[in-house]
Structure 1
């Protein structure tokens, strides 16, 4: 079996030893795998997989069940998508059966592979950790990214007006078409968002560059959920403002969460969100598709940061 690994910054397809199944696990024949910024970081040597995780790249995939071990809801031939700690960019992957979800009706493999990581990240951080209630205002940075476009759709479907920061006017127009109320271009700074402040929840993959301004944009009892550090890791904050406004600053990662946490998260997502996929209120946004033999081009496209939505590898 072949899998895509990073060695000294280079991408290489390598033979990977086939893993025997343990009770509760499922083997999938991978048909498509989504790319995420975590894959770019892992390639650069900045985000190694957690202990025990596959060194193969890929945090989400979709495919067909080819083997099941023990009692399981899954059967050979089922179409599924998977949330992974690694291993998605391979011919096959073994996964805890609780970390699979059925492919929503009407979606192809690429669309299915674009669901697990980004919708899980958006749902967890805006609606579980961020506790967004209907009518509360949400601020989404990197709004045109995979996570951003998922979060916009969730906000629209669940009754939360949202605003974005993005890199160019075309991305802003696309976010508004998806359901955002408006937003700003990050080059001009996020201070202009004050026009729509105060916000109740902020989904922040940027970090340091935006930190001080968040204290002005967020309202009393707001939740600021930090999910990335694209803008740096060190910031100066006026803690008095944080204190007086009772702002909750929440650090959040998904990849390193344990199996039980992920199983519960996906179960809640299936109950709450899968009817919205069935009704068409939610749909993964695939910007570009590449063959598995075009991995270099796919990674370059993601790194260029010019797209709206997801980059997906398809076999």
Structure 2
């Protein structure tokens, strides 16, 4: 089979297609023929040599996929060849075949294409874990989502709204600010100058937000603490704005009784991911059938145009997910449609 890997760490033009053996499913696994995969920031970091995959993981990029079951391990139940599935991966999504634990397979709703289904696993499971499992999201809470027009951002806004809470988003361009409102944010704030706390306080009658989903890190640290309400919590899922906070003052953490939680989903063990996936399938997947939730697709590239897709993400042009299709050969600009 063919798969895409970085030839050497570096720019997008280092991505190459190579031949690999078709993986063999274990007794409790499914072999899936990949129809579509989706980009994540981790793919870019791995390509650049800044994010090593977990030990024992394939060097092939790709943390999620959608496809068709080709073979079923003898210990699997409830799955058959020909079933449409999507799933979270430790790697290997940029390939023609992948194996997945049967208990991590998510059935693809009938009305969704493979390209739409590929936009679900990583961002929705990341947001679901951060908001509900770690953030303890409750009805009527006010939640600040940074990079609201991103893949995780658009998923989080929908999940917050679906839970009866109040999503407040930040973005860095007028187009993305408006798009956050379209996805479901009650308030969308321009954070292009790195300052947003005053706008958050104004939108919450001076009280602040109960929960922050943060992917920025150091550059937003002080503003985040100011924007949090008393007894507020922040869940950090990435650090695109830096690792180190200068002149760190911990006083506000104590005065406001704040909680800071950090997490990465890729490093979680298999059993954790199985439990998370099953909980998601039970509580959230039905919302894709009744219209409560929808995958947000920005652009569909042929997987042979993976380098161009990476450049599209690195330029911060996307609103929602960038998809690599194994079957389509023409770039489709979705603009977050």
TM-score range, shorter chain: over 0.9
Superposed CA deviations along residues 32-74 of structure 1, whole A, max 9, x for unmatched, are 0010111011111111110011110000000000011122221
Q: Tell me what 2:168 maps to.
A: 163
Matches within 5 A, 1:197-276: 197=204, 198-235=208-245, 236-276=247-287
State the partner residue of 1:177.
Answer: 182
SS state at 1:187 partner: coil
Q: Which residue of 1 aligns with 2:90?
A: 85
Partner of 1:43: 47
Work out whether 1:190 is the aligned partner of 2:196.
yes
Give the Cα–Cα distance (whole angstroms) in 2 for the partners of residues 4 and 121 of structure 1: 24
Please name the residue that 1:149 is paired with: 154
- 248-257 vs 68-77, which moves further: 68-77
Structure 1 residue ranges, 4+ long, deviating more than 4 angstroms after superposition: none
Which residue in the other structure is 2:63 paired with? 59
Question: How many Å separate the matches in 1 of 2:3 and 2:308?
Answer: 17
Measured in 2, the distance between the counterparts of 1:210 and 1:194 equals: 15
CA shift digits 1:199-257 (9 cap, x unpaired): 01100000000001111110122110011110000014321210121111000100010
Aligned mate of 1:116, from 117, 121, 124: 121
**Which residue matches 2:334?**
none
SS of 1:114's partner is coil
Are the equivalent residues in 2 in contact too, given 1:172–1:182 (CA < 8 A)? no
User: Any conservation in 1 of the 2:23–2:31 contact (CA below 8 Å)?
Assistant: no
Quick one: which of 290, 293, 311 aligns to 2:304?
Answer: 293
Counterpart secondary structure, 2:310:
helix
TM-score, with normalisation over the residues of structure 1?
A: 0.98
Question: What CA distance in whole angstroms lies between the structure 2 residues aligned with 1:243 and 1:183?
Answer: 29
Which secondary structure does the structure 1 equivalent of 2:265 belong to? coil
Residue 30 of structure 2 contacts residue 101 of structure 2 at CA under 8 Å; is this kept in 1? Answer: yes
Stretch of structure 1 that moved more, 232-241 or 155-164: 232-241
CA apart distance, 1:105 = 2.3
Are the counterparts in 2 of residues 183 and 193 from structure 1 also a CA contact under 8 Å? no
8 A Cα contact 2:200 2:209, kept in partner: no
The alpha carbon displacement at 1:304 in A equals 1.0
Report the secondary structure of 2:213's partner residue. Answer: strand
Which whole-Å CA distance do the structure 2 matches of 1:274 and 1:109 have between them? 15
Q: Which of the numbers 278, 281, 287 marks the counterpart of 2:289?
A: 278
Query: Which residue in the other structure is 1:100 paired with?
Result: 105
* TM-score normalized with structure 2 length: 0.92
Gaps of 5+ in 1: none
1: distance between equivalents of 2:45 and 2:318? 18
What is residue 69 of structure 1 aligned with on the other side?
Answer: 73
Across the aligned residues of Structure 1 and Structure 2, the Cα RMSD in angstroms comes to: 1.0
Between the aligned partners of 1:86 and 1:29, the Cα distance in structure 2 is 15
Distance in 1 (alpha carbons) for counterparts of 2:94 and 2:23: 15
1:20 aligns with 2:43: no
CA distance in structure 1 between the aligned counterparts of 2:134 and 2:320, rounded to whole angstroms: 23
Deviation string for 1:12-42 (max 9, x for gaps)?
Answer: 1111122222110111000000101110111
Range 281-290 or range 94-103, more displaced: 94-103
Query: Partners of 2:163 and 2:110 in 1: how far apart?
Result: 21
